[in-house]
Amino acid sequence: MGEREDGLFARPAFVRYFSAVAVGALGTALTAVALPVLVVDVLDASPFEVGLVSAAQFVPYALLGLFAGVYVDRWRRQRVLVWASIGRAVSLGLIPVLWMAGALELWVLIALLLLFGSFAVFGFAATQSLLPQIVERRALLAANARLDQAEAAAQTAGPALGGALVGLLGAPLALAVDTVTYIADAVLIAGARITETIDRTRAKRSLRREVAEGVRWIYRHATLAPLAWSTHVWFFANAAALTVLAVFALRSLELGPFAYGLLFATGGAATLLGASLAAVVGGRIGAGPAIIAARGLYPIAWLAIALLPSGDADPVALALLFGAFALQGLAAGVENANEMSYWQTVTPDALLGRTNGTRRSANRTMAVVGALAGGAAASVFELNAVLLGVAAIFALAFLIALASPLRTARAD
């Protein structure tokens, strides 16, 4: 793997792409802390309303994901990325502006997050489809591992910075920093020299037929289909888990914004470690086994969180909470690079946009349902009981992958 990794940073386009990912991840990690604090503490939302806000970020994927993939395969992906970043900067930047004007209501926030998510649909479909145009396919695992390391490093520093900024400036103004990161993202990508191959005849083809081609490729494939279904279930569980965690940590455990940020920073540090090991693990045991092994750690982590007692957290409870979140981060770091490189290696370039758009649409649809289900369940049942249910759903995602041909899949 060494030669493949060393050559990555000799490519100016990859350096700019890597930098854009790192900067964007820093802002996203900051927002992961500021947004829940804004919703729970500033807007005083109920658990179900917290679920609505979480779902709003994913609804555009359910509505637009299939079509976004088609157009990302038709258009220049670099250009799509630039405009998607500008759109996200504007929609997110309106949140602190409206708050200062005294016009930020919950429904306004939801509307802005829907707009933000609409740009993100195209941005993520283009991001995942552009990388194979920058590096050769044999270097995709190394490239994805490096990108995950950058994101994990940002997720380590971002939440701590986010918690500090929220404490200093307040949650609405802290979100303004993420606006700047998206502008920087757009500038970096716009300046990269990337030669893209586009089939101009595709623009005259049937939208419905192209969507169907992407769907068939995923759900008729021997290994991609079970991987997709396992991931769909995982997204349901993860959205429900993070929705309930915001209420559980900020209200039941009475964590302040800074401690809540440190929790995500701990997860980010563990993700960085996992991303550093991803290429080695995937190279030795194969992408499929690496994904399955990592996916088996999630139910363990969330079971540990579910067993924490409610009330002001003592040092032992805090240690268990942070340790469990670190375990989830480690799993995410090992899993993501192997999963992304496997999708990018197995899928033909002409189908990458549709494949990424289709699966992201399905994943985010499950996230919408999961966020709403988590918020609704937290409004009716004890938070610990809901978290136990979340752990069981994570276990189901693991079992789907374990029982599939993914056990022997490699990305070579």
pLDDT beyond 70 at 200 = no
Residue 282: CB partners within 8 Å, gap ≥ 6?
141, 290, 337, 338, 341, 411
10-45: pLDDT as tens digits = 788 888 888 888 888 888 778 877 888 888 777 887
Burial 359-386 (b: 16+ CB within 10 A, else e): bbbbbbbbbbbbbbbbbbbbeeeebbeb
Q: Say if residue 249's pLDDT is above 90.
A: no
Chain-wide mean pLDDT for the chain?
A: 83
Q: How far apart are CA 122 and CA 77, in angstroms?
A: 9
Cβ atoms 214, 49 nearer than 8 A: no
* Residues comprising the chain, all counted: 412
Q: Are 85 and 138 in contact (CB under 8 A)?
A: no
What per-residue confidence (pLDDT) applies to 122? 85
For the segment 208-224, what is each residue's pLDDT rounded down to a tens digit? 787 788 888 889 999 99
Report residue 3's pLDDT band, with 50, 70 and 90 as the boundaries. Answer: very low
CB 390, CB 302: distance < 8 Å? yes
> With contact defined as beta carbons under 8 Å apart, do 345 and 60 qualify?
no
CATH number at residue 118: 1.20.1250.20
Q: Given a cut of 90, is residue 298 above it in pLDDT?
A: yes
At 332, list the tokens.
Answer: 């995410």
Provide the whole-model pTM.
0.69
Distances (CA, A) of 58 to 35, 110, 216, 222, 363: 15, 11, 23, 28, 9
Note the pLDDT tens digit of each residue in 70-114: 777 777 888 888 898 999 999 988 998 998 888 888 889 999 989
Burial 156-179, CB ≥16 within 10 A → b, else e = bbbbbbbbbbbeeebbbbbbbbbb
State the residue range of the domain holding 189.
2-408
Which of 153 and 284 is assigned the larger pLDDT? 284
CB distance 203 to 56 below 8 Å: no
Domain count, the chain: 1
